[in-house]
A and B are shown apart, each in its own frame.
Chain A
Amino acid sequence: MAALLEVEHLRIEFPTRRGTLVAVDDISLQIAEGEVLGVVGESGAGKSLTGTAIIGLLEPPGRIAAGEIRLMGRRIDNLPYEEMRKIRGKQIGAVFQDPLTSLNPLYSVGRQLVETIQTHTDMSPTQARTRALELLHEVGIPAAERRIDHYPHQFSGGMRQRVVIALALCVNPKLVIADEPTTALDVSIQAQIIALLKRLCRDHGTAIMLITHDMGVIAETADRVAVMYAGRIAEIGPVRSVIKEAKHPYSHGLMGSIPKINDEKERLDQIEGSMPRLTEIPPGCAFNPRCPHVFDRCRVERPELLDTGVTQASCWLYAHG
C-alpha cells in the first residue's frame, strides 16, 4: 500500500529563555490509506504536538525545526498558511479532546457544518444543508431535522462529540487526526464514539491517526501502533505484535500495565520512576535511567529505530538483529 502520510525525522522545538526545548525529537512514521495508526504515550511524550504539527497548527513559539511531512507525496510542512488551510478540513480532518469546548457556543451546529462544507466545496447553501443533515444522521444524532438548528449547549457531551466527528468528516478527508477523542467523555460513551469513528472511516476509506494514552482503545481500534516516549518513538509495529510481544523495554512495561481478564497476578506491573521532563532528557537512550536492561552503550549513544522482526524498536538490544 502506498503511504498516505509520511513523517520523516520530524523535530519540534520550543525556544525559551533557558534554552531550546526539544519536544519532539527525530520521529518518523507512515500511515497508509484507510489505515488506523494508534499513537500512545504518557502526557508530555509529544503525541499531540506531532498531530498538531501535521495539520500545521503549531502555536508559536513552537516550530518545526527539522524533518518533512508529506501527504500523498506532496510536502505539506512548509506550505504557506493559505495553501495549508485548504488542506485542513478537506484532506486532513481533526477531532480534539474536549467536545464541550470544540464547538462555537454562539452558532447552531447546522451553521457550523454548512460553513465548513461551503468552505471546501462549491455547494449551494441548500445543498450544504442537505449534506449537513445527512452527516448528522450518519453520526447518529436522533431527530436530526430538528437538532440541526440547535446550539451546542443543547447537546450532551457524547452528542457534541458526534457533531465534532461530523464536522471533521464533512468533506471526506483522506486522514483524520483524532487527539484523545474520548478522554473527556463518560466511560459509557467512550466505546460508542470510538466505534462510530472506526465505522465511518472504514466506510469512507479514511485513515485515522488515533492519539491516546489508553492502550485499551488502541488494542480495539488500531491496525498499527506507535509508542512514544519523551518526544521519541520507542517502538512502532502491528498492534497485535506490540501488545503480545513488545520488544522495547518501555513498551513492554507499558503492556504489562494493561489489566488482563485471565491474568492471575495480584498487582499490575509498573515501570519504576517517571518520564523525564523535557529539560532533563538524559544523553543516549531517553529511557536508560528506568530501563531494566540498560548497558553502557544506552547511556552514550542514541538508538535509531531498529528492525526486531515484526516491529521496529529504538533499542540497542536489537543492534545485531
Chain B
Amino acid sequence: MFAYIVRRALQSILVMAAVAFVAFALFQYMGDPINQMVAQDASAAEREALRRTLGLDRPFYVQFLVFLKNLMTGNFGFSFRIGTPVAQIIAERLPATLELVLVAALFALFIGVPAGVYTGLHRHGAMSRFMLTVSLIGVSLPTFLIGILLILIFAVLLGWLPSFGRGQTVQLGFWSTGFLTASGLKALILPSITLGLFQTTLIMRLVRSEMLEVLRSDYIKFARARGLTNRAINFGHALKNTLVPVITIAGLQIGGLIAFAIITETVFQWPGMGFLFITAIQFVDVPVMSSYLVLVALFFVLINLVVDLLYFAVDPRLRVERSVSAH
C-alpha cells in the first residue's frame, strides 16, 4: 500500500511538473512580455535593462526554476490586462467557483447515483426507460443551452430566480461565501443545476451499466442461491461493488466540473475563475491563463489523491497485503 501511494504521488508530481512546464512555455513564447510592460517609445537599452531585472536574459532552465519557485510561493505574476497581481485576482474569484462546483457535484451525486441504481435494478421498467431517454437528452443538451433555457423559464418568464451573479455574499476572512444569505443561495440554484445536469446524467448511466455488469456476476448469483434478501443483494453486495469503478469516474467528472464551470460562469456571469479564464483567452492575458492552468491541475491532482484514498476504504484487495496466494 505504501509503495502504491508513493507511486501515485510521484505520478502527481510528474503531472504537475508537465503542466507547470506548459504554463511556463506559454509565458515564454506567447508574445514578448517586455512589449506589454514598457512604453511604446522605450529605447533598446531600457528594454535590455528591464529584461535583466526580470531575469529574462538568463538561461532557459534557470528561468524555469525561478518560475517554479514563484509558483510555489504563490507569486503568479501580474495580469497583462488589469495590471494587478494574478494571485490577488484568483483569490477573489476562487470561492465563487469552488462553491458552485461543490453544490453541482453534490447535486450530481445525490441524483445520479440513486437514479443509476434504480434504472439498473428495474431495467425493463417503464420508469427506467423514461429516465434513460431523459438522460440521453441530458447528454445531448449543451451546458450553455441548459443555462439559457433555465434563465428563460425561471428568471425571464417566471421571475423566481436571479439570472446572473452570486447575490449577496458574506466575507469570512479571505473567503466570500454565498451560502449564508438567502439571495446567495437563490443565486446558486440555476447555475449549479446547469453545471451539474450533464454530470448527473453521466453518473447515472455509468452507475446503471456498472450495476448491470455486477448483477450478472457469479457472486451475485451465488448470493441469490444462498437465499439472501433482495435488499441485501442489491444494496449490500451489488451497490458496493458498483461503487468501486464509479468512484474513479465520478472523481474525474467532478474534476470536469471545474472545467465546465467556465461555460456556466459565462452564461450566468458568475464572478468565478472560469469567467476570468475565458476573458483571459479573449484578451491573450497569458499570466492569468497559465496560473489558471496550474491551479486547475492542482485541483485535479488533489481529487485524484482523494479518489485513491477512497479506493483503499472500499476495496480490501488493495488494502491488505497478499498473504496467501499459492494453492
Question: Contacts A96-B225, A106-B241 hold; do A119 and B218 have CB atoms under 8 A apart?
Answer: no
Check B218 against A115 for contact (C-beta < 8 Å). no
Which B residue sits closest to A55, measured CB to CB?
Answer: B225
Check B320 against A154 for contact (C-beta < 8 Å). yes
Tell me, yes or no, whether B6 is within 8 Å of chain A by CB. Answer: no
CB 8 Å contact bits of B233-259 with A (1 = contact, 0 = none): 000110011001000000000000000
CA distance A151 to B193 in the complex (A): 41
CB 8 Å contact bits of A105-124 with B (1 = contact, 0 = none): 11110000001100110000
Check B327 against A189 for contact (C-beta < 8 Å). yes
Which B residue sits closest to A170, measured CB to CB?
Answer: B226
Residues on the B chain within 8 Å of A98, using CB: 218
Tell me, yes or no, whether A299 is within 8 Å of chain B by CB. Answer: no
Residues on the B chain within 8 Å of A156, using CB: 324-327
Tell me, yes or no, whether A37 is within 8 Å of chain B by CB. Answer: no
Which B residue sits closest to A60, measured CB to CB?
Answer: B124
Choose among B225, B320, B325, B326 the residue with the greatest number of A CB atoms under 10 Å from its CB: B225
Question: Contacts A98-B218, A107-B237, A151-B317 hold; do A157 and B223 have CB atoms under 8 A apart?
Answer: no
Check B225 against A115 for contact (C-beta < 8 Å). no
Question: Contacts A101-B217, A106-B314, A151-B320 hold; do A115 and B222 have CB atoms under 8 A apart?
Answer: no
CA distance A107 to B315 in the complex (A): 9
Tell me, yes or no, whether A9 is within 8 Å of chain B by CB. Answer: no
CA distance A103 to B314 in the complex (A): 16
CA distance A116 to B225 in the complex (A): 10
- Return 16 A-B CB contacts under 8 Å, by A number: A55-B225, A88-B225, A90-B227, A102-B218, A105-B219, A105-B315, A106-B237, A106-B314, A106-B316, A116-B226, A119-B229, A153-B316, A155-B324, A156-B324, A156-B326, A159-B324
Top 3 nearest A-B pairs by Cβ distance?
A89-B227, A94-B225, A88-B227
Check B316 against A105 for contact (C-beta < 8 Å). yes
CA distance A309 to B298 in the complex (A): 82
Instruction: Give residues of chain A (142-198) contacting chain B, Cβ–Cβ below 8 Å.
Output: 150-151, 153-159, 164, 167-168, 186, 188-189
Instruction: Tell me, rounded to whole Å, the shortest Cβ–Cβ distance linking A152 to chain B.
Output: 9
Check A154 against B322 for contact (C-beta < 8 Å). yes
CA distance A101 to B217 in the complex (A): 8
Tell me, yes or no, whether B323 is within 8 Å of chain A by CB. Answer: yes
Q: When the two chains form the complex, which single residue of A108, A164, A188 contacts B222, counting CB atoms closer than 8 Å? A: A164
Q: How many cross-chain pairs have Cβ atoms below 8 Å apart between A and B? A: 99
Residues on the A chain within 8 Å of B14, using CB: none
Instruction: Give residues of chain B (257-286) contacting chain A, Cβ–Cβ below 8 Å.
Output: none
Instruction: Give residues of chain A (115-136) contacting chain B, Cβ–Cβ below 8 Å.
Output: 115-116, 119-120
CA distance A217 to B3 in the complex (A): 45
Residues on the A chain within 8 Å of B217, using CB: 101
> Chain A residues in contact with chain B, CB under 8 A?
55, 57, 81, 85-90, 93-94, 96, 98, 101-108, 115-116, 119-120, 150-151, 153-159, 164, 167-168, 186, 188-189
Residues on the A chain within 8 Å of B228, using CB: 85, 89, 115-116, 119
Which A residue sits closest to B220, measured CB to CB?
Answer: A104
Tell me, yes or no, whether B122 is within 8 Å of chain A by CB. Answer: no
CA distance A98 to B241 in the complex (A): 18
CA distance A87 to B224 in the complex (A): 11
Which A residue sits closest to B319, measured CB to CB?
Answer: A151
Check A105 against B241 for contact (C-beta < 8 Å). yes
CA distance A98 to B228 in the complex (A): 20
Check B219 against A103 for contact (C-beta < 8 Å). yes
Instruction: Give residues of chain B (104-147) contacting chain A, Cβ–Cβ below 8 Å.
Output: none
CA distance A220 to B228 in the complex (A): 33
Residues on the B chain within 8 Å of A115, using CB: 228, 232, 236
Which A residue sits closest to B232, measured CB to CB?
Answer: A115
CA distance A168 to B327 in the complex (A): 22
Tell me, yes or no, whether B221 is within 8 Å of chain A by CB. Answer: yes
Q: When the two chains form the complex, which single residue of B222, B224, B230, B317 contacts A103, counting CB atoms closer than 8 Å? A: B222
Q: When the two chains form the complex, which single residue of A88, A108, A189 contacts B224, counting CB atoms closer than 8 Å? A: A88
Instruction: Tell me, rounded to whole Å, the shortest Cβ–Cβ distance linking A48 to chain B.
Output: 11
Instruction: Tell me, rounded to whole Å, the shortest Cβ–Cβ distance linking A320 to chain B.
Output: 44
Choose among A81, A154, A167 the residue with the greatest number of B CB atoms under 10 Å from its CB: A154
